[in-house]
Structure 1
Amino acid sequence: MILPVTLTIAAAAAVINLWLAFRIVPTRLKDKVLVGDNDDLRLRSRMRAHANFTEYAPFVLILMGLIELAGASPFWLWIAGIAFVLARVAHGLGMDRTTTNMLRGGGAVATWLILALLAGWAIAIAYRAGPVHMLGTIGVVPAARG
C-alpha cells in the first residue's frame, strides 16, 4: 500500500535533514574541525539543530505512516505533516540566533504538540479498533492420563 502523505512528508524531512547537515560543513572545513565543535558556538548550535531534528523526525514519521495505514483522514495528516515541516525549518533557523527567539521556541513547541497529537491519535485508533484477534486458532490438547 502506498502512503502518499507520509511519503511526501518523509521526502520533505529528508531534504530538511540534508539542509541541516550541510549547514555544518562550511564551519568544519574552514576551522578544520573533524570531530566535536571546537568550542564554536555557531557550530555547536547547528550540530544540535541537526541532532534535534533526527531525534524527533522518526517518531513523527512512524506515527504518521501507521495512522495513514489505519485509514485515518488524509486532510488532518497533511495538516500535521506540513506543520511539522514548517516547525522544523523554523527551529533550525532559530538555532542560529544567540538569544531566545520565536523561531526556535515556536518550532520546538509546535513539534511537541504535533508529536503529542499524533501519539494520542494513534492510541485512539488502536483502542477504538477493539481487541486484535489471531488469524488462526490455537487448539488445546488435553494431557493424557496415566
Structure 2
Amino acid sequence: MSYQIGIGVPMPMLLPVTGIFTLPFAGYLTFLANRTVYHRLKSEKYMGDGLADSSDPHTDPLYLTSRAHANFLENVPLAFVFAAVAELNGANRRWLTAAMSTLLALRVAHVELGLMRERSIGLGRSVGHFGSQAITLGLAGYSS
C-alpha cells in the first residue's frame, strides 16, 4: 500500500491504522470543544471553567463540559503516540484497530455516560477512566 508524493515518488503508508482513527477522534474532540463554547456563550463566562461562580461543580454545565474537553486532551494524545510507535514497530493491525476502537468507545462513555450524567457519577465515568488507562498501558507495553 503506497501513495504518490511530489513528482510521482511512491511513498509507503507508515501508519494506516493510527491514521484512520485521527478523523473519529478529531470529530469527537471538535464536538467537545463546541459544546464547551456553547456553554460559555450561554453563561457569558468567556474565561475559566466557571468553578469560582458555581455552588456545585457537578451541576454546572460549563465546568462539566470544559473538564470533559480537557480530560479528553489529557488522555488521548499519549495513547495515539503509543499506538503510532507500536504500529511503526510492526504491531498487529487488527489488534491496534480493536484497541483504538475500544479507546474511542471508552472516551465517549467516560463523558456521555459519566461526566454528563446527573452529579457526574454515571457508570461510564469509571469504566471509561479505567478502560482508557488499561488501553494506554497496553499500547505502551505493545510499543516496546
TM-score if structure 2 supplies the norm length?
0.80
Mean Cα displacement is larger for which, 8-17 or 68-77? 8-17
1:86 maps onto 2:118 in alignment: no
List, as ranges, runs of 4+ consecutive aligned residues in structure 1 with deviation greater than 3 Å: none
Count of residues in correspondence between the two structures: 123
Helix, strand or coil for the counterpart of 1:81?
helix
Q: Give 1:119-138 correspondences, 5 Å limit.
A: 119-123=140-144
Q: Give 1:20-39 correspondences, 5 Å limit.
A: 20-38=32-50, 39=53
CA displacement, residues 2-48 of structure 1 (integer Å, 9 cap, x when unaligned):
21110111221111110111111221111211101333422111111
Give the gaps of 5 or more residues in structure 1: 124-146
User: Matches of 2:81 and 2:120 in 1, distance apart?
Assistant: 33
Contact 1:20–1:92 (CA under 8 A) maintained in structure 2: no
Identity %: 35
Q: Which residue of 2 aligns with 1:76?
A: 95
Q: Higher strand proportion, which one? A: 2
Q: Give 1:1-146 correspondences, 5 Å limit.
A: 1-2=12-13, 3-38=15-50, 39-40=53-54, 41-93=60-112, 94-97=114-117, 98-123=119-144
TM-score if structure 1 supplies the norm length?
0.79
User: Matches of 2:83 and 2:100 in 1, distance apart?
Assistant: 8
The Cα of 1:117 is off from its aligned counterpart by 0.6
Q: CA RMSD for the aligned pairs?
A: 1.3
User: Matches of 1:61 and 1:84 in 2, distance apart?
Assistant: 10
Mean Cα displacement is larger for which, 3-12 or 82-91? 3-12
CA displacement, residues 83-137 of structure 1 (integer Å, 9 cap, x when unaligned):
00101111121211214221111111110000111111112xxxxxxxxxxxxxx
Alpha-carbon spacing, 1:29–1:118, altered in 2? closer, same or farther (3 Å): same
Helix, strand or coil for the counterpart of 1:37?
coil
User: Matches of 1:42 and 1:29 in 2, distance apart?
Assistant: 12
Alpha-carbon spacing, 1:53–1:99, altered in 2? closer, same or farther (3 Å): closer
- Residue 134 of structure 2 aligns to which amino acid in structure 1? L
Give the gaps of 5 or more residues in structure 2: 1-11, 55-59
